[in-house]
């Protein structure tokens, strides 16, 4: 089994690898799956600020991974796209935003999305991203006083004091997105 991944970022690729043992409990072939990452950053939106942008970003990443593997002469059994960003709720009186991680899985014929949860973004961080246009990763680095947080625990880890990290949020999203493929009887 070959799984193409629309990212080369450590937390995203690691999320796919971490999901494999759980998936293998219901579909044993996942235990031997080869994970093949591709850089799909050019195809993704710079900073998704809605669920629609997150869903589309994940779908586009998976599609690019599928096409990239095919261009190299190989065929993926599944392609995965993982996208993180903020769902901005402008309709709320104070304007709130929720950090979200989404996954999209396709076998080339059909696809499914899954969410890894939501975490409210602190007002100051939300203001930096939405009002000042600072990339979330840069704003979180400044908030945490660290560099390249997104390649490790991500905003999830910083905001939860390590209780939940970026990799885990993508792992949960991925397991949810695989549901129609590992339980097809329920999704007819």
Q: In this structure, what CATH number is given to the domain that contains residue 173? A: 3.90.950.10
- Please indicate, yes or no, whether the overall pTM of this predicted structure exceeds 0.85: yes
Per-residue pLDDT at 93: 61
In sequence order, the 6+-apart residues with CB closer than 8 A to the CB of 110 are 180
Overall number of domains in the chain = 1
pLDDT at residue 29 in the model: 97
> What was the pLDDT predicted at 45?
65
User: What is the residue-level pLDDT of the chain in tens, covering all 188 positions?
Assistant: 999 999 999 999 999 999 999 999 999 999 999 999 999 988 766 789 899 999 999 999 999 999 999 999 999 999 999 999 999 987 666 679 999 999 999 999 999 999 999 999 999 899 888 888 888 888 888 988 989 888 888 888 889 999 999 999 999 999 999 999 999 999 98
- Give SS3 for 124: helix
Q: Which two tokens stand for residue 78?
A: 């599944």
The β-bridge relationship of strands 2-5 and 78-89 is parallel
Residue 175 in tokens: 């397991």
* C-alpha closest to that of 127 among 160, 165, 94: 94
CA 182 to CA 29: how far, in whole Å?
Answer: 11
**Contact (Cβ atoms closer than 8 angstroms) between residue 102 and residue 113:** yes
Sign of CA dihedral 5, 8, 12, 18: positive
Segments forming the whole domain that contains residue 114: 2-187
């Amino acid at each position: 089994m070959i799984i193409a991944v629309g990212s080369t970022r450590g937390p995203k690729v690691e999320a796919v690898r971490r999901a494999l043992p759980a998936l293998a409990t219901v579909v044993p072939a996942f235990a031997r799956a080869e994970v093949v990452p591709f850089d799909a950053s050019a195809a993704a939106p710079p900073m998704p600020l809605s669920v629609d942008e997150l869903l589309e970003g994940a779908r586009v990443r998976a599609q690019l991974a599928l096409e990239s593997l095919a261009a190299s002469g190989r065929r993926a059994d599944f392609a995965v796209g993982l996208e993180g960003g903020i769902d901005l709720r402008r309709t709320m009186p104070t304007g709130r935003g929720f950090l979200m991680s989404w996954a999209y899985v396709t076998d080339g014929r059909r696809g499914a999305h899954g969410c890894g949860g939501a975490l409210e973004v602190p007002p100051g961080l939300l203001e930096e991203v939405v009002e000042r246009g600072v990339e979330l990763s840069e704003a979180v680095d400044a908030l945490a006083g660290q560099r390249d947080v997104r390649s490790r625990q991500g905003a999830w880890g910083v905001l939860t004091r390590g209780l939940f990290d970026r990799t885990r949020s993508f792992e949960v999203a991925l397991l949810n997105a695989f549901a129609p493929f590992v339980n097809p009887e329920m999704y007819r």
